[in-house]
Structures are given as structure tokens and as C-alpha cells.
Structure 1
Amino acid sequence: MQSYNPKEWFSFIFQFHKGDTFRALSPIMAGIALYCGVVAYLETEYFDLPDTSHVKNISIMHTMLGFVISLLLVFRTNTAYDRWWEGRRMWGSLVNNSRNLALKLAVMLKDKEDKDIFKRLIPAYAEVLNLHLKNADISHELFDDAILSSNHYTHKPNQIAKTIMAKLNELYMQGKLTGDQLIILNGEALSLTDICGACERIKNTPIPYSYSAFIKKFIFVYVLTLPFGYVFQLGYYVIPVVVFIFYVLASLELIAEEIEDPFGTDANDLPLEKIAANIKKNVEELIY
């Protein structure tokens, strides 16, 4: 995730980073500039269309459709941001529930060996969930003395969650935890799977294809028809104007595409590694 100071205006204006939309759109913007130049030349020099030509009235269409495209892009970006924010809320809940589970176990358990197991298991869930959401390879070596099964389980976060529940039940059967204590711990233990399921829902349910494709086609047609009408008012200045309009509209779509899946490795995706590291640090401070 890109770290920044929201109060530094000039750094935003003059600084480009790897996730900046200008870099991604530069080739297309160059093509549109060339296209606008050809249209402007044909209308003003080759065909020599008069100011009374009906082609000039194409700009009326852009006036009417401008409001529609604005609504579509606002809905698109808001929907994408909702997915990004929900992902952040889920990982915020994982932080809180991991702390609560570690805090309760630190008080309830007396055996240092039992504490050490949960000191490793709780942070491991966050670390493995991070890799799981990024479709990264997960090593079967969980600890020095324990491994994740490579055959029976393909869903590694579920395996760690099951290990946590199995250990809690084992402590209950050994009399190290009472029934009431087990019930108190049950909520935080089950919340791990709930959070994982919510994150998987965000990741595996993209914006409907027809909706995303329609917006792209709409922007493309809208921009390609701009120079036909506005060349009469702007002449060859229509080139930078149309390129800038395309940059604004396409950038909003690119930003929405980037943040609708907040669990990747893009510049504006959630810092899951950092959150998982904070969980590990907090759990180790609570359980000692």
C-alpha cells in the first residue's frame, strides 16, 4: 500500500509512482492524440467542413451523455471502494480478535508449553491467510516441530483454524480449561473462519463482466466522437483537450479496477504483510 501525507499537495501533482494511471495510459493517450490530429486535419483542411455543418452538432450528444457517464463512474468507484474498505474492516477484525484470543489464553492458561503453541498458531493464521488470498505458495513447514498437511488439506487457513479448535478442545478434555472458558474462547476462534470467508467473497466475486465491459466501451466511444464536434470551436487544440478528458475518465476506471481486489500486490492494495506482522508482535507481547 502506498504511504503518503495527504497534506502535501505538490508531491501529488509532480510525483509519479508505479501505480500512477498516467504511466498505464500513456500509450493509449498517444494513440488518441494521433487520432484527434487526423480528425482535425480531415475536417478543417481536407474536407473543409463549414461551421454550419451538421457534424458540429455532435457535441450536443456529449452534453447529454456527460451526466450519464459521470453517474456510471461514480457508482463504479464507490462500489470498488466499498470492497476495499470491507477488506480493511475484515482485517481490522482479525487484528482485534487475535488480540482478544491471545489475551484470554494468556490469563486462562498456566502451562508455558500450552501458551507457546498458541503464541505461534494465532499469528500463523494471519500470515497464511495473507498468502492464501494472494494465491501464493504456502510452505508446509509451519513450525520447527509441526507441518501443514500437503495432501488432505488444500485450504491452509482452515487447517490452522482446525488446529486451534482441536488444541482448545484438548485442553478442555485435560481439565486445563473449564466449559465456561471454552465457550468464552469459542467466539474468537470461530471468527477466524468468518473473516476468511468474507475476504474470499470479496476476492472471488468480481464486478459483473457486462457492467465493467459496458463502462469501458462507453468511455471509448464517448472519447472517440469528441473531436468531430469540438474541432469547430477548438481547432487543433482539440488534441490536448480530448486526451485530457480521456485521461480523467479512464483513470477513474483504472483506479476502480485496482482497488476492487484489495488483497493483491498493487500499489494501493491493503498492506496485509504489515498487518500480519503487527498481529504477531501483539500476540507475542500478550502471551509470555
Structure 2
Amino acid sequence: MVQYNPKDWIGYLFRFHKSDTFRQLIPMMLLIGLYAGSIAYLELEYWKLSENSNVKNLNLMHTTVGFVLSLLLAYRTNTAYDRWWEGRKQWGILVNNSRNLAIKLSAYLTEENDRFFFRKAIPAYASILSKHLTNEDVSKVLYDGLDLEIDQHKHRPNQVAKMIFQKANDLYQSGKISGEQFYIINSELQSFTEVCGACERIKNTPIPYSYSSFIKKFIFFFIMTLPFGFVFSLGYYVIPVVVFIFYVLASLELIAEEIEDPFGFDANDLPTEKIASNIKKHIEEIL
């Protein structure tokens, strides 16, 4: 995830990160510029259309349709950001519940082998969930001294959650924790699977294809028709104007595409591996 200072306005103007949409759109911007220049040449030099040409009235369509397009893009980016923020909230819940579970177990447990298991197993769940969401393979032995047999063909976070709950149940049956204590930690144990389910819902339910495809086609035809009407009032200056409008509209769509799936390796995706390592650090401090 990109770390930055939100108050550094000047730095934003002259710094280009690899995830900036400007870099990604340079080839298309050049093509759009050539296209706009070709339309300007045809209308002004080849066809020699006059100011009274009906083609000039295409601007009326752009005025009306542009408002609709702005609403669609606003809804698109807001929906994508909601998915990104929901993913961050779920990982925040995982952090808090991991700490709460560790704090309660640190007060309940007296034997070192029991504390050792949870000291390693609780962070293991966060680490495996991070890899599960990015479709990475998980090794069988995650931590020295704690052998977790992970079947790659089955749901990996569920396997770790099952081991943690089974260990808690063994503690209860052996009398190391009481029924009331087992009931108190049950909410944290249950929340692990709930967080996993919420993250999977975000990852496995993309924006409907027809909606995303329609916006891309809408932007394309909107840009392709802009030079026809603007040439009469802007002349060859229509080239930078159309390129800039394309940059703004396409950038909003690219940003929405990047953040709508927050569990990946894009520059602005959630730093789940870093969050998992912080969970490991905090749990080892507590237990």
C-alpha cells in the first residue's frame, strides 16, 4: 500500500508513482490525441465544414450525456471504495479480536505449552487468511515448534480455525478453563470465521460485468464523439482538451478497478501481510 503525506500538495504535482493512472494511460492518450487531430484536420482542412454545420450541435449531446456519465462514475468509485473500506474494517476486527483472545487466554492459561500453542496459532490464522485471499500456497510448517498440517485442496483458514477451537475445547474438557471462560472466548473464536467469510464475499463478488462494461463503452463513445463538435470552437486545441477529458474519465474507472478488489498485489491494495505480521508481534508480546 502506498504511504504518503496527505498535506504535501506540491509533491503530488511533480511525483509520479508506478500506480499513477497517468503512466498507465499514456499509450491511449497518444492514440486519442492522434484521433482528435485527425478529426480536426478532416473537418477544418479537408471537408472545410462551416460554423453553421449541424455537426457543431453534437455539443448539446455531450452536455446532457456528460452529466449522466459523471453520476455513473461517482457511483462507480464510491462503490469500489466501499468495498476497499469494508475489507479494511474486517481486518481491523481481526486485529482487535486476536488481541482480545490473547489477553483473555493469557489470564486463563498457566501451562507454557498451552500458551505456546495459541501464541503461534492465532497469528497463523491471520497469515493463512492473507495468503488465502491472494491465492498463495501455504507451507505445511508455518512456525518452528508448531506443526500445522494444511491441506492445500481444502479451505485453509477453516483448518486453522478448527484447530484453535479444538484446542480451546480440549482445555475446557480437561478442566484447565471453566465453562464460563470457554463461553467468554467463544465470540472471538467465532469472529475469525466471520471475518474470513466477509473478506471472501468481497473478493468473490465483483462488480456486475454488464455495469462495468457499460461504463467503459460509455466513456469510449463519449470521447470518440467529442472532437466532432469541439473542433468548431477550439480548432486544433481540441487535441489537448480531448486528451485531458479522456485522462480524467479513464482515471476514475482505473482507480475504481484497482480498489474494488482490496486483496491483491496492486499498489493501493490492503497490506494484509503487514497487518498479519503486526498481529504476530502483538500476540507474542501478550502471551
TM-score tier, shorter chain, comes to over 0.9
Q: How far does residue 133 in structure 1 lie from its aligned partner after superposition? A: 0.2
Gaps of at least 5 residues in structure 2 are none
Paired residue type of 1:17: H
Q: Distance in 1 between matches of 2:262 and 2:28?
A: 26
Q: How far does residue 137 in structure 1 lie from its aligned partner after superposition? A: 1.1
Q: Which residue of 2 aligns with 1:217?
A: 217
Q: How does 1:257-268 map to 2 (within 5 A)?
A: 257-268=257-268
Q: Distance in 2 between matches of 1:186 and 1:147?
A: 22
Paired residue type of 1:211: Y
Q: Which residue of 2 aligns with 1:85?
A: 85
Q: Distance in 1 between matches of 2:148 and 2:101?
A: 22
Paired residue type of 2:186: N
Are 1:94 and 1:192, in contact at CA under 8 Å, matched by a contact in 2? yes
Q: Distance in 2 between matches of 1:149 and 1:65?
A: 54
Are 1:142 and 1:148, in contact at CA under 8 Å, matched by a contact in 2? no
Are 1:128 and 1:157, in contact at CA under 8 Å, matched by a contact in 2? yes
Q: Distance in 1 between matches of 2:151 and 2:188?
A: 26
Are 2:83 and 2:262, in contact at CA under 8 Å, matched by a contact in 1? yes
Q: Distance in 2 between matches of 1:10 and 1:94?
A: 37
**Cα displacement string for residues 20-61 of structure 1 (whole angstroms, at most 9, x for unaligned residues):** 001111111110000001000000000000000000000110
- Does structure 1 residue 230 correspond to structure 2 residue 217? no
Fraction of identical pairs, as percent: 64
Are 1:165 and 1:189, in contact at CA under 8 Å, matched by a contact in 2? yes
- Does structure 1 residue 32 correspond to structure 2 residue 29? no
Q: How far does residue 150 in structure 1 lie from its aligned partner after superposition? A: 2.6
Are 2:203 and 2:263, in contact at CA under 8 Å, matched by a contact in 1? yes
Paired residue type of 1:149: I
Q: Which residue of 1 aligns with 2:203?
A: 203
Q: Which residue of 1 aligns with 2:108?
A: 108
Paired residue type of 1:279: I
Are 2:101 and 2:188, in contact at CA under 8 Å, matched by a contact in 1? yes
SS of 2:142 mapped into structure 1: strand
Q: Distance in 2 between matches of 1:205 and 1:101?
A: 30
For the aligned residues, what is the CA RMSD?
A: 0.9
Q: Distance in 1 between matches of 2:151 and 2:193?
A: 20
- Does structure 1 residue 60 correspond to structure 2 residue 69? no
Q: Which residue of 2 aligns with 1:150?
A: 151
Q: Which residue of 1 aligns with 2:177?
A: 177
Q: Distance in 2 between matches of 1:143 and 1:237?
A: 63
Q: How far does residue 142 in structure 1 lie from its aligned partner after superposition? A: 2.6
Q: Distance in 2 between matches of 1:237 and 1:148?
A: 65
SS of 1:147 mapped into structure 2: coil
Q: Which residue of 2 aligns with 1:7?
A: 7
Q: Distance in 2 between matches of 1:142 and 1:252?
A: 40
Paired residue type of 1:146: D
Q: How far does residue 147 in structure 1 lie from its aligned partner after superposition? A: 2.8
Are 2:80 and 2:260, in contact at CA under 8 Å, matched by a contact in 1? yes
Q: Which residue of 2 aligns with 1:134?
A: 134
**Cα displacement string for residues 154-201 of structure 1 (whole angstroms, at most 9, x for unaligned residues):** 211100000000000111111101111100011000100000000000
Paired residue type of 2:136: A
**Cα displacement string for residues 68-116 of structure 1 (whole angstroms, at most 9, x for unaligned residues):** 0000000000000000000000000000000000000000001111001
Are 2:138 and 2:150, in contact at CA under 8 Å, matched by a contact in 1? no
Q: Distance in 1 between matches of 2:251 and 2:94?
A: 32
Q: Distance in 2 between matches of 1:149 and 1:244?
A: 51
- The alignment's TM-score, normalised by the length of structure 2, stands at 0.98
- Does structure 1 residue 167 correspond to structure 2 residue 170? no
- The alignment's TM-score, normalised by the length of structure 1, stands at 0.98
Q: Which residue of 2 aligns with 1:240?
A: 240
Q: Distance in 1 between matches of 2:115 and 2:18?
A: 43
Are 1:148 and 1:156, in contact at CA under 8 Å, matched by a contact in 2? no
Are 2:139 and 2:150, in contact at CA under 8 Å, matched by a contact in 1? no
SS of 1:274 mapped into structure 2: helix
